Amino acid sequence: MKRDPERVARGLVARRPRDGVVYVQDPLVDAVSLRFSAVAACGSETPLLLAIIAAFSASEGVRKDTGIISWVRWPNAVTIEGRVVASSSAAVTRTAQGSWAQLDFRVNLLPTAKAGATSLYDELGVEVDSGILLEKILESLSWLHFGWSNGMHAQMLRRVVSMTETIGTKVLVRGRGAKAAGSVVDIDALGRLTVQLAEGGTKKLEAPDELLDS
């Protein structure tokens, strides 16, 4: 289902979409999941930050559709009681006409054999309407995109951080040739995880492989 972000972006530029409009690309329900992509105008946001925003939108969509409280796990997963129910990724294309983000989503609808995962069926005991779920996720994404496009960066980021389970956890990160202990305290405007090191100072993490343990 993966689409070439540049091709998608050029197609949208040709149609001259308005800022704030989110376009959905090819929703697909396979044997166990709902998968789809959304494309929206963006500014200087990093793919890391956009993936977190997408994961938050999926989490909000799940809550609005089912009532289940879920959490964001940095950098791009949605969890229910510690098990992954959805994930996201992001790619950015920058052109002379503007910048566009392609956000890819996957939500587990039916039981999966993947370790550490769950599904909405596992949590509810019944199947959900994938069309309604898609609508709720896009509503949340549109709301976040509107706020971000109108300068509400701090407010939007605080909302995402408040629902991120990684915040407040004790972790081990890659130090200078050794492991360094610390606590996760924040997510910055680039989407990086901020860790307060036990030895003093902070470290910014940009990829999950920098997080060695928790």
Q: What is the pLDDT of residues 104-150, one digit of tens each?
A: 999 999 998 889 999 999 999 999 999 999 989 988 998 888 888 78
Q: pTM value? A: 0.86
SS (H, E, C) the chain: CCCCHHHHHHHHHHHCCCCCCEEEEEEEECCCEEEEEEEEEECCCCHHHHHHHHHHHHHHHHHHHHCCCCEEECCCEEEECCEEEEEEEEEEEEECCEEEEEEEEEEECCCCCCCCECCHHHHHCCCCCHHHHHHHHHHHHHHHHHHHHCCCHHHHHHHHHHCECCCCCEEEEECCCCEEEEEEEEECCCCCEEEEECCCCEEEECCHHHEEEC
Q: Classify burial at 69, counting beta carbons within 10 Å of its beta carbon; exposed 0-12, middle 13-18, buried 19 or more.
A: exposed
* 107 within 8 A of 34, measured Cβ to Cβ: yes
Q: Indicate whether 93 pLDDT > 70.
A: yes
Domains of the chain: 5-162 (3.30.930.10), 170-213 (2.30.30)
Residue 86's pLDDT band (boundaries 50, 70, 90)? very high
Q: Indicate whether 50 pLDDT > 90.
A: yes
Q: What is the pLDDT of residue 145?
A: 84
Q: What is the pLDDT of residue 59?
A: 97
Q: What is the pLDDT of residue 30?
A: 86
Q: What is the pLDDT of residue 9?
A: 47
The mean per-residue pLDDT over the stretch 166-171 comes to 93
| CA separation for the pair 73, 164 (Å, rounded) | 6
